[in-house]
């Protein structure tokens, strides 16, 4: 029976507050810049944060004190910031309840819990969180044998303020055990490169210890899957986590220079979105071919300046500047580009199979159509211009979870065709590129990603021949 339906939108400040009460400062959750280069392309909510919110809502419907007998949770998809999360709570028999967390019609978490009524909460000696754990770098050579123990602690007042019903109904030590699971996975084992996938804990009355002991009992390097056995005060359980891939490393300027025979001396190129991924490859390739390259970045100035320094220290001529493509009144340039390359993109993998989101489609349309045409109109003023607009084979493959992206890119292709008809001396390229190695296409599991250097070389040659 459905007992309760509610919703919550998690914000950046919520992330910082949970990190403070738990000690889990993994950049995937708290760093808006670093997380752009990690698995999901943006910050995502701590899994245990969802769990505590769900338990808090369950306890909000109760007046007695309870003990957690067992809890099983599976994190099925990333829970993103600034979008509403729907929570449905179903009551079952014998003190059991199930929670279903959804976001934009996708299930992000499933949780089941069994609670038993207790007379009252006894005084506990849960430690106050004071000493933070350093963020551990994952050492694959030692991971299969990893074991140890961490303190079970939390910020008591923060728990009380943010999860008032939970604090009143469930012993703080039990809540702290759950919080410590986040600290363990996000900071210690596996640590920095972790993704929390699922866990189960069961009450063991005779398990009288005062730390969270952990032992990696299985590491399957085929799937980067880690199984961790845990023992905590009055609980035992299993955690499943995965190793996420490290951020994509753009090939060096020297390697790209040695990979092609393109020459575009005297040409001026504007690369929008040229500081990351395939855009950064294009920046380095054109610079190494002799072009004067101006490339934009959105947020990460340090990344862009590092590319500029790398190129210019080898004799190239590049400049970088901050640019928001959604600005409807972009500033004029100090030059007229012979080549215009457009790599600006939001996260392309935010769709849900079976559900078409007009809001998401409109976001893609603004990037791939409106902003593109606005910049072409303002900046492509020469009689002869080479334009590169990367489309995607996702259109041919009709990927179910990318329908909004596909529709917007299809319109973008039509715009390119129209530009070519209107400007006979332009060369407007809009190839449907295969899945290409970048931060966005990075995956936990092995997938076939094309080499962006080899892929771009042919198209860049066509552009410089304009």
Q: Which of 172, 138, 204 is nearest to 21 (CA)?
A: 172
Residues 237 and 277 in one domain: no
Residues 212 and 331 in one domain: no
- Beta strands 427-429; 386-388: pairing state: parallel
CA distance 302 to 318: 15
What is the SS3 assignment for 446? coil
Residues 98 and 160 in one domain: yes
* Contacts of 79 by beta carbon, 8 Å cutoff, 6+ apart: 10, 44, 45, 47, 50, 85, 101, 103, 108, 109
The residue range of the domain holding 200 is: 4-243
Residues 88 and 198 in one domain: yes
CA distance 184 to 147: 11
CA distance 285 to 288: 5
Question: What percent of the chain is helix, strand and coil (3-state, nearest 5)?
Answer: 35, 30, 40
Residues 150 and 264 in one domain: no
**At 383, which CATH number?**
3.40.50.720
Instruction: Give the pLDDT score at 122.
Output: 61
Residues 304 and 364 in one domain: yes
**Does residue 236 form part of some domain?**
yes
Question: How does residue 51 score in pLDDT terms, banded at 50, 70 and 90?
Answer: very high
Interval 241-277: pLDDT, tens: 999 988 888 999 999 999 988 898 889 999 999 999 9
Are 388 and 340 in contact, with CB atoms under 8 Å apart? yes
**Does residue 310 form part of some domain?**
yes
Interval 81-90: pLDDT, tens: 999 999 999 9
How distant, in Å, are the alpha carbons of 31, 120, 178 from that of 153?
23, 21, 10
% of the chain at pLDDT higher than 90: 70
**Does residue 73 form part of some domain?**
yes
**Does residue 431 form part of some domain?**
yes
Instruction: Give the pLDDT score at 8.
Output: 97
Residues 238 and 260 in one domain: no
Q: Which of 243, 276, 299 is the last residue of a domain?
A: 243
Residues 277 and 219 in one domain: no
Domain count, the chain: 2
CA distance 201 to 426: 64
CA distance 352 to 359: 13
Q: Which of 243, 264, 288 is the last residue of a domain?
A: 243
**Does residue 248 form part of some domain?**
no
> What would the two tokens of residue 240 be?
């499943």
Q: Please state the φ and ψ torsions of residue 274, each to the nearest 5 degrees.
A: -100, 15
Residues 295 and 229 in one domain: no
Element (DSSP H or E) covering residue 391: strand 391-392
Residues 178 and 220 in one domain: yes
Q: Which of 200, 225, 243 is the last residue of a domain?
A: 243
**Does residue 87 form part of some domain?**
yes
**At 87, which CATH number?**
3.10.129.10
Q: What is the pTM of this model?
A: 0.88
Interval 293-342: pLDDT, tens: 999 999 889 999 999 999 999 999 999 999 999 988 888 888 899 999 99
Question: How does residue 176 score in pLDDT terms, banded at 50, 70 and 90?
Answer: very high
Q: How many residues does the chain have?
A: 466
CB atoms within 10 A of CB 139: 10
Residues 264 and 239 in one domain: no
Residues 264 and 116 in one domain: no
Q: Which of 51, 47, 55, 7 is nearest to 28 (CA)?
A: 47
């Amino acid at each position: 029976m459905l007992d309760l339906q509610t919703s919550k939108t998690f914000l950046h400040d919520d992330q910082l507050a949970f990190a403070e009460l738990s000690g889990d400062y993994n950049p995937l959750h708290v760093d808006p810049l670093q997380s752009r280069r990690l698995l999901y392309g943006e910050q995502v909510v701590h899994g245990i944060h969802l769990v505590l919110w769900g338990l808090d809502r369950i306890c909000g419907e109760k007046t007695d004190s309870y003990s957690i007998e067992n809890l099983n949770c599976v994190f099925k998809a990333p829970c993103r910031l600034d979008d509403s999360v729907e929570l449905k709570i179903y009551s079952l028999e014998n003190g059991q309840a199930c929670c279903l967390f959804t976001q934009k019609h996708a299930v992000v978490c499933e949780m089941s819990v069994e609670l038993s009524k207790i007379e009252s909460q006894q005084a506990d000696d849960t430690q106050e969180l004071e000493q933070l754990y350093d963020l551990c770098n994952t050492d694959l050579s030692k991971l299969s044998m990893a074991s140890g123990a961490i303190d079970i602690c939390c910020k008591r007042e923060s728990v009380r303020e943010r999860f008032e019903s939970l604090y009143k109904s469930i012993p703080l030590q039990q809540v702290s055990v759950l919080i410590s699971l986040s600290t363990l996975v996000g900071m210690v084992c596996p640590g920095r490169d972790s993704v929390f996938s699922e866990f189960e804990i069961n009450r063991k009355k005779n398990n009288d210890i005062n730390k969270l002991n952990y032992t990696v009992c299985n590491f399957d390097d085929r799937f980067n899957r880690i199984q961790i056995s845990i023992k905590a005060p009055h609980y035992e359980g299993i955690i499943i986590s995965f190793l996420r891939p490290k951020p994509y490393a753009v090939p060096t300027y020297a390697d790209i220079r040695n990979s092609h025979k393109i020459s575009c001396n005297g040409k001026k190129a504007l690369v929008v979105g040229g500081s990351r991924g395939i855009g950064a490859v294009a920046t380095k390739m054109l610079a190494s071919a002799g072009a004067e390259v101006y490339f934009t970045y959105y947020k990460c100035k340090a990344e862009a300046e590092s590319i500029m320094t790398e190129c210019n220290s080898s004799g190239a001529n590049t400049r970088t500047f901050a640019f928001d493509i959604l600005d409807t009144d972009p500033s004029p340039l100090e030059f007229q580009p012979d080549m215009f390359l457009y790599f600006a993109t939001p996260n392309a993998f935010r769709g849900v199979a079976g559900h078409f989101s007009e809001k998401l489609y409109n976001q893609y349309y603004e990037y791939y159509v409106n902003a593109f045409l606005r910049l072409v109109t303002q900046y492509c003023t020469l009689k002869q211009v080479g334009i590169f607009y990367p489309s995607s084979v996702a259109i041919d493959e009709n990927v179910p979870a990318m329908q909004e992206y596909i529709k917007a890119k299809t319109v973008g292709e039509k715009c390119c065709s129209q530009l070519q008809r209107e400007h006979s001396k332009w060369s407007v390229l809009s190839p449907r590129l295969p899945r290409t190695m970048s931060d966005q296409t990075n995956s936990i599991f092995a997938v076939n990603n094309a080499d962006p250097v080899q892929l771009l070389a042919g198209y860049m040659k066509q552009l410089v021949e304009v």
